[in-house]
Amino acid sequence: MITNALCTLEETRAKIASGGHLLLAGDEHLLRQLPRGTWIGGTIPYFMAAAGGTHSTALVFVTELPPEAAVNSIRFYGVDKLPSIATDAADNGFSVIIIPAGSDAHQVYAKEAGTYPGLFLTPIVGWIAGVAVEDIGQVKPLVFNGETGEASADAAVVLHASLPADTYARVEMINLFRPGSGSRITFPTASFEVGTCIVDGVGDNFARWLTAHEIDTRLPLVADYCGAMINTSIQAVDPAAGTVALYAPVFPGIDYVVAEPIGDYAAEFSKAVAKKTMEPTFACNCILNYLYGELEGRKTGDVAGPITFGEIAYQLLNQTMVYLSVRPMPTNPSRYVAQVAVPAVPVVPAAPVAPVVPAASQDPHFLQRLGHAMSGLFGRR
């Protein structure tokens, strides 16, 4: 049976020793005790588990990749190497990336991933490693390369896997937040920290606008990226300094709206999961959903995985559940060949553009795989 659950240190070691291809999440002191093997990991003590939301520094969350997924490589990517992530990926497969929160790699990937060659031509999923909330600013999040036994607080770690021709990977997300009916907000530059903004066409200071209008900053800003609702979460507001720190960057040329409130997050999330036909290979959800939704001890459907400081579905997301599925290729590819959708994405400094599918990729199998992979972000089946 493929493992996707919290495990003891001894159980995790046994999985590695048996040759499992693993994605691991847990406290630093646990990950440092693991033997070398085919795995990557990141620090975090929060999880979606069988018993509900869980905070543990004694257990490791183990996600075992399916046997049809062959691991081609595991490597660190510093800031200078990040643009090659997609071009290093398999022609048919997927890549899992884990980035330490607050690192240069985190900042750069969040701002520039949309410009990376071929980013949307292969499924890329992952998460931002973190620490216990009370340790933020005191303990550095880490990522681990299980093949070498090395850890890094600065670089991303990536596992590239390939799949057989009759199988494909698909990245999807569940975002409960929808734009509210309030003001439309734009920003002049791409940044994790903002001051100046334009609200309904009038210049303003974002920190003072949030304060004056008594905005609930647990609610994210929501923007429509070609049909996909993408959140940007608010970290801290300093009206005196006139600055707002964000968990992901905003981009110029994008209209943002404060989200509508959600009543019972756990109940609404369970409803959303129930509507999906899903057997995820990997899933993660956001620490802000865990905290604001008071999810400790509460179940959100049957989906399990780490609770993270940011979620990656091609690009960095906030307050969203992301998951990867590995599925059999349907026998009739024709409907997908004509419906390949590559989304426009925010890039810096230019306006949103859509990446071009290279001419060498124009074959039915490639287009079929691409159509499947990308349709998850737009809700198509």
pLDDT digits (tens, 9 = 90+) for 179-210: 999 999 999 999 999 999 999 999 999 999 99
For residues 365 and 363, give the distance between their C-alpha atoms in angstroms, rounded to a whole number. 6
Residues 9 and 94 placed together within one structural domain of the fold: yes
Domain-embedded: residue 200: yes
Residues 252 and 236 in one domain: yes
Are 39 and 103 contained in the same domain? Answer: yes
User: Does residue 180 lie in a domain region?
Assistant: no
Per the domain annotation, does 227 fall within a domain?
Answer: yes
Find the distance separating the first CA and the last CA of the chain, reported in whole Å. 27
**Positive or negative CA dihedral for 30, 12, 89, 247?**
negative
79 with 165, same domain: the answer is yes
In a domain, 170, yes or no: yes
> What is residue 362's predicted lDDT score, i.e. its pLDDT?
39
Domain of residue 130, residue span: 4-174+266-378
Indicate whether 315 belongs to any domain.
yes
Are 232 and 316 part of one and the same domain?
Answer: no
The residue out of 258, 280, 303 marking a domain boundary is 258
State whether 191 and 123 are in the same domain. no
Q: What is the pLDDT of residues 9-44, one digit of tens each?
A: 999 999 999 999 999 999 999 999 999 999 999 999
* CA–CA dist 264, 329 (Å, integer): 37
Q: How far apart are CA 381 and CA 362, in angstroms?
A: 22
**Same domain, yes or no: 251 and 307:** no
282 shares a domain with 239: no
Which tokens belong to 348? Answer: 């810096």
The per-residue pLDDT for 277 is 64
Condensed to tens digits (0 to 9), the pLDDT of residues 232-275 reads 999 999 999 999 999 999 999 999 999 999 888 888 887 887 77
- Both 234 and 327 in one domain: the answer is no
Residue 328 inside a domain? The answer is yes
Residue 107 confidence (pLDDT): 95
**Boundary-marking domain end, from 232, 258, 284:** 258
How many domains is the chain partitioned into structurally?
Answer: 2
**pLDDT over 60 (residue 359):** no
- Residue 337 binned pLDDT confidence (cut-offs 50, 70, 90): very low
Residue 219 DSSP class? S
> Could you tell me if 43 and 96 lie in one domain?
yes
Residue 24's pLDDT is 98
Residue 349, preceding peptide bond in cis (omega within 30° of 0): yes
| Confidence grade of residue 380 (pLDDT, cut at 50, 70, 90) | very low
Which of 258, 278, 293 lies at the terminal end of a domain, its last residue?
258
- Evaluated on CA atoms 307, 308, 311, 317, the torsion sign reads positive
Instruction: Say whether both 148 and 288 belong to one domain.
Output: yes
Tell me whether residue 179 is in a domain. no
Same structural domain, 80 and 143: yes
Query: Is 340 part of a structural domain of the chain?
Result: yes
- How much is the pLDDT for 124? 96
